[in-house]
Chains A and B, each alone.
Chain A
């Protein structure tokens, strides 16, 4: 009764084939990551030291550290987050919790999707026109951060909306039935349960913002600056641009320097991601349903 027919055998064989195929693809995915990280650590790991991180570049950037670029990147990312997270979250809350489904919100939706598809170099030129020239911020941290903020806004909006959507509608209705206003419902029930999802969006944004080069090279990041930025209206060095510069623009750079810069850049992203992931897991652990 349970003897294997030839059809059973064939099904099994096909099933195994596909399982192995999918597994191979998954492994293939990890390979580049391992190669990149391995190469960076192998070639640039030796240069990483306390001095490398916390001193200025010297000898026309062929020696010394990367402190101004490191600090500049932190500045740019922080200001960009400050601008885009409140804006994006509030827009997403409006779209998901208040606005109905009509031509206006659909238009906004379309705009957001298109904004996500705009190449970063176009964002860069927009930043030059809008923030550097029109608003008169000059080439500054502020202009660079705002450019990045606009570029990453769709990520924040879309991921926030998704996490708001994941909060069951029944929770809202139960709250409304009690006589709560929309805002009371959002504050007491919806947002607390969407925080972990919103953070995921912020993580994505941080990663992207840290590594972007094109949008900041015209708007605020400098080739070389012998001093640290004092305010958001100053120019600054940034890790991503610094990597580009030492890798291609400056002659006579020792081989391990660009690799070291790249390693620091990746490490920064990874550290920030891990912190956010840890925080997210902590919040998920407290999740209530």
Chain B
């Protein structure tokens, strides 16, 4: 493990305490998100377990992305966004955290469209370690190689680490952003419709990567492709028009054992 040089001691304490109870990575109680007073998501209650892939499905405007944004306190960058309710990460209320930068650095985010920062491949992955204060070239080299390997990109780019990240193909760029998220050494990885701009073959490769990453971290997977949720997610939540309709074991939802008829209708493509 690399010393990540941030104040996370209080957080790892809480990992210890929650581990003895139920291993909940994330607990969300009565979460309501609104933009300039217009609610985007209301009264969500759910919890995400340690080392699971938690799927979120639902049509556009269901509040999925807003939900992700509230988890790493991106509302602080958007004055029109207001978040009410309680979110506990590793047992700590994230609205009472003094160091939200440490919180964000423990949560990796992958966006729908790959955002290759205008830097070289190497620097894209080394940026987060650098932000944490790692300066030694050897250490950075090691992190870059490890993260690119885990994101299944190393073999394709190892000979051109100093070319621009934005010159990669769409699928490669998306794996680069996953490598970048991994360079944060996250506890939680949030993927927001990662496969929207990615070809099916790469999508499958990334899905395999995610199954492996599950050993080391918790993953929240927002997806438009219900079958992707079925393939990957241990449990799935169905969001619809700002409401969390239900949360259940993925296979149950897909075999019609859910509590709400709307979930099955959506999964079977009857609306949305």
A171 touches B118 (CB 8 A): yes
Asked whether any CB of chain B lies closer than 8 Å to the CB of A176, the reply is yes
Are A189 and B109 in contact, CB atoms less than 8 angstroms apart? no
State A185–B238 Cα separation when bound (angstroms). 34
Within 8 A of B (CB), among A185-240: 188-189, 192-193
Could you tell me the distance between the alpha carbons of A199 and B74 in the complex, rounded to whole angstroms? Answer: 32
Q: Nearest B residue to A184 by beta-carbon distance?
A: B131
Cβ–Cβ contact B115 & A171, under 8 A: yes
- Taking CB atoms, residues of chain A closer than 8 Å to B77 are 173, 176
CB neighbours (8 Å) of A289 from chain B are: 116, 118, 166
* B235 on the A face (CB < 8 A): no
Whether the pair A178, B104 counts as a contact (CB closer than 8 A) is yes
A179, A287, A288: the one contacting B131 at CB < 8 Å is A179
Contacts of A192 in B (CB 8 A): 118
**Is A173 a contact of B74 with CB atoms below 8 Å?**
yes
Interface residues of A in 92-112 (CB under 8 A from B): 100
User: Are A188 and B115 in touch, CB under 8 angstroms?
Assistant: no
In the complex, which residues of chain A have a beta carbon less than 8 angstroms from the beta carbon of B164? 288
Docked pose: A177 CA to B118 CA in angstroms: 16
For A184, what are the chain B residues with a Cβ–Cβ distance below 8 Å? 131
Asked if A170 is at the interface of the complex by the 8 Å CB criterion, the answer is: yes
| Residues in A whose Cβ lies below 8 Å from that of B74 | 173, 176-177
Instruction: Report if B35 contacts A (CB, 8 A).
Output: no
* Chain B minimum-CB-distance residue to A179: B105
Q: Which residues of A contact B109 (CB under 8 A)?
A: 174, 177
- B101, B103, B113, B116: the one within 8 Å of A180 (CB): B101
B12 in contact (CB, < 8 A): no
Q: Check: B117 CB closer than 8 A to any chain A CB.
A: yes
Specify which of B101, B113, B117 is in contact with A179 (CB 8 Å cutoff): B101
- Is B128 positioned at the interface, with any CB of A under 8 Å from its CB? yes
What chain A residues lie within 8 Å of B119 (beta carbons)? 189, 288
What B residues does A176 contact at CB under 8 A?
74, 77, 104
For the complex, is A41 an interface residue (Cβ under 8 Å from B)? Answer: no
Q: Which residues of A contact B218 (CB under 8 A)?
A: none
- Shortest B181–chain A CB gap in Å is 8
For residue A193, which residues in chain B have a CB less than 8 angstroms away from its CB? Answer: 118
In the complex, residue of chain A having the shortest beta-carbon distance to the beta carbon of B120 = A288
Residue B72 lies at the interface, judged by CB distance under 8 Å to chain A: yes
List residues of chain B with CB within 8 A of the CB of A178.
104-105, 127-128, 131, 180, 184
In the complex, what distance in Å separates the CA atom of A206 from the CA atom of B117? 32
Indicate which residue in B6, B117, B128, B165 contacts A189 across the interface (CB closer than 8 Å).
B117
Q: Is B79 positioned at the interface, with any CB of A under 8 Å from its CB? A: yes
Whether a CB of chain A sits under 8 angstroms from the CB of B46 is: no
Query: Are B118 and A287 in touch, CB under 8 angstroms?
Result: yes
**What residues of A have a CB within 8 angstroms of the CB of B106 in the complex?**
179
Residue tally, chain B, CB below 8 Å to A: 31
Q: Measured between alpha carbons, how far is A193 from B130 in the docked complex, in Å?
A: 19
Q: How far is the CA of A100 from the CA of B76 in the complex (A)?
A: 12
Kindly supply a per-residue 1/0 record for chain B positions 149-171, scoring 1 wherever the CB is within 8 Å of any chain A CB and 0 otherwise: 00000000000000011100000
Determine whether A175 belongs to the interface, using a CB cutoff of 8 Å to chain B: yes
- A179 with B102, Cβ < 8 A, contacts A173-B74, A289-B166 known: yes
Shortest Cβ distance from residue B45 to the other chain A in the assembled complex, whole angstroms: 25
Closest chain B residue to A174, Cβ basis: B115
Chain A CB within 10 Å — which of B113, B115, B184 has the most? B115
Contact B118 A288, beta carbon cutoff 8 Å: yes
Q: Does A15 contact B (CB under 8 A)?
A: no
Q: In the complex the two chains form, is B184's CB within 8 Å of A179's CB?
A: yes
Instruction: Give the docked Cα–Cα distance between A179 and B127 (Å).
Output: 11
Min CB gap A189→B, angstroms: 6
State the Cβ distance, B73 to closest chain A Cβ, in Å.
10
Given the complex, which residues of B lie within 8 Å of A177, measured CB to CB?
72, 74, 104, 107-109
CB neighbours (8 Å) of A181 from chain B are 101
- A175→B130 CA distance, assembly (Å): 12
Identify A188's interface contact among B102, B107, B127, CB under 8 A: B127
B254 at the interface (CB under 8 A from A): no
A176–B131 Cα gap in the complex (Å)?
A: 11
By a CB distance below 8 angstroms, the chain B residues around A287 are 118
Task: Determine the chain A residues whose CB is within 8 A of the CB of B113 once the complex forms.
Answer: 170
CB closest chain-B residue, reference A172: B77
**For the complex, is B111 an interface residue (Cβ under 8 Å from A)?**
yes
Interchain nearest-CB distance for A104 vs B (Å)? 13
Q: Is B118 touching A170 in the complex (CB atoms < 8 A)?
A: no
Known contacts A177-B109, A193-B118; 14 additional CB pairs below 8 A are A170-B111, A174-B109, A175-B117, A177-B104, A179-B103, A179-B104, A179-B128, A184-B131, A188-B127, A188-B131, A189-B119, A287-B118, A288-B165, A288-B166
* Chain A residues packing against B (C-beta within 8 Å): 100, 170-171, 173-181, 184, 188-189, 192-193, 287-289
Q: List 23 A-B contacts (CB under 8 A).
A: A100-B79, A170-B111, A173-B115, A174-B117, A174-B177, A177-B74, A177-B109, A178-B128, A179-B102, A179-B104, A179-B106, A179-B128, A179-B184, A181-B101, A184-B131, A189-B117, A189-B118, A189-B119, A192-B118, A288-B117, A288-B118, A288-B164, A288-B165
